[in-house]
Amino acid sequence: MFMSILVLVVSTALFLFYLQTACEQALRREFSQSYFKEIIQAAQLEYPKLLDAVASNGLPDYRQARLDLKCDFFTLESLLKRVDPTRQHLTRGERLLGLYFRFMFFSLPIRHALKLKERETVLRLASILQFFANSVGEKLSVNAFAVAETRLNS
């Protein structure tokens, strides 16, 4: 019985380690330009204000921060799904980052109660949101270029 529990715990820990490593590798992707600025303005995202508050003096209002992160995530996830009419689903990397975001987001109340790396978790969640905003902006610019090219060729 003890060995089976030990194997389960070690397997879960390894899975979470590999998930985190794969997500961090995906987040290191470089974009040709900063697309996220336009997306933040267009979608009226709140995570940049949260980043500024965390950088200046810690986490301002825990409940509001969770609500802002959750709303921004659902907004960006919806935009990612709808930005390319030919593909109505997320890429494998985007799905993986979405899963990682959800895991980190649901661990946030535990981290808040235990005062355990809460600030770092919020920063990591915001970096995932910024990656999604960059992805949306990149896909929009590629789609706009393709539409313009087809109009010129017509």
pLDDT for 99 beyond 70: yes
Q: What is the mean pLDDT of residues 81-98?
A: 81
pLDDT for 52 beyond 60: yes
Contact predicate 72/50, CB 8 Å: no
What is the structure's pLDDT at 9?
Answer: 93
pLDDT for 152 beyond 80: no
Contact predicate 95/80, CB 8 Å: no
Q: What are phi and psi of 143, to 5 degrees?
A: -65, -40
Q: Alpha-carbon distance 53 to 47, whole Å?
A: 10
Q: What is the mean pLDDT of residues 42-49?
A: 86
What is the structure's pLDDT at 81?
Answer: 85
Task: Give the tens place of pLDDT for each residue, 110-141.
Answer: 888 888 888 888 888 988 998 898 888 888 87
Contact predicate 36/133, CB 8 Å: yes
Domain count, the chain: 1
Lowest mean pLDDT among 3-17, 48-62, 123-137: 48-62
Contact predicate 35/137, CB 8 Å: yes
Q: State if pTM tops 0.75.
A: yes
Contact predicate 136/80, CB 8 Å: yes
- Percent of the chain residues topping a pLDDT of 70: 88
The residue with greater pLDDT, 5 or 82, is 5
What is the structure's pLDDT at 154?
Answer: 57
Residue 121 domain boundaries = 2-153
pLDDT for 48 beyond 90: no
